[in-house]
Amino acid sequence: MSQQSTTPRSPQPHSASGAWAAGGTMFAAVLLLVDGVLGVIKGISGIAQDEVYTRLGSYVFKFNVQAWGWIHLLLGVVLLVVGVGLLKGAGWARVMGVALASINVIFDFMWLPYTPLWALVSIAISLFVIWALCTDSSRTSTRTA
């Protein structure tokens, strides 16, 4: 029989930004779920009646509100799926969360003439989601046995 010497490992020190990012990942998942639900609601409103949203001034990107409704509806459903994946800890959901939050920033920028204040709020939420998912290294750290 051989004896193995085990030395206690000191806990890894976590920086303040690492703790924020780890907690931020859970919050990012919830925000993706909320943004997904709101996207579905925006989409249904745009599809159901073209007069729900009014355009403010002239803008370069001219789309039919019903077309935007379908875009927001589909993106909202996908955001819901990715949010659930993040809550379950799926690795693919982190990558998809960053990609879809980036796409959401672009779409919300193009949606500015219809709902300027909410588009800016949604852009800020998406940027937080991107930051939280990119800075949390706690799930990608390698563990040695």
Nearest one of 44, 120, 46 to 77, comparing CA atoms: 44
For residue range 118-141, what is the model confidence (pLDDT) as tens digits? Answer: 788 889 989 988 988 888 766 554
pLDDT at residue 61, rounded to an integer: 63
Highest mean pLDDT among 21-25, 110-114, 129-133, 139-143: 129-133
Where does residue 47 rank: exposed (0-12), middle (13-18), buried (19+ CB within 10 A)? Answer: middle
Residue 103 or 114, more confident: 103
Residue 136 CA to residue 145 CA, distance in Å, equals 22
Structure tokens at 10: 């000191």
Mean pLDDT of the chain: 78
Instruction: Answer whether residue 93 shows pLDDT above 70.
Output: yes
Instruction: Answer whether residue 79 shows pLDDT above 90.
Output: yes
Q: How many H-runs (helices) and E-runs (strands) does the chain carry?
A: 4, 0
Least confident of 8-22, 69-83, 98-112, 117-131: 8-22
Q: Is 0.85 topped by the overall pTM? A: no
pLDDT at residue 74, rounded to an integer: 95
Residue 112 or 16, more confident: 112
Nearest one of 79, 87, 80 to 27, comparing CA atoms: 87
Mean pLDDT of 25-34: 89
The most distant pair of C-alpha atoms in the chain lies apart, rounded to whole Å, by 82
Where does residue 86 rank: exposed (0-12), middle (13-18), buried (19+ CB within 10 A)? Answer: buried
Instruction: Answer whether residue 62 shows pLDDT above 60.
Output: yes
Mean pLDDT of 44-63: 67
Q: Is 83 helix (H, G, I), strand (E, B) or coil?
A: helix
CB-based contacts of 130, cutoff 8 Å, min separation 6: 98, 101, 102, 105
3-state SS of the chain: helix, strand, coil percent to 5?
65, 0, 35
Residue 81 or 61, more confident: 81
CB-CB contact of 128 with 24 (8 Å) = yes
Residue 53 CA to residue 60 CA, distance in Å, equals 17
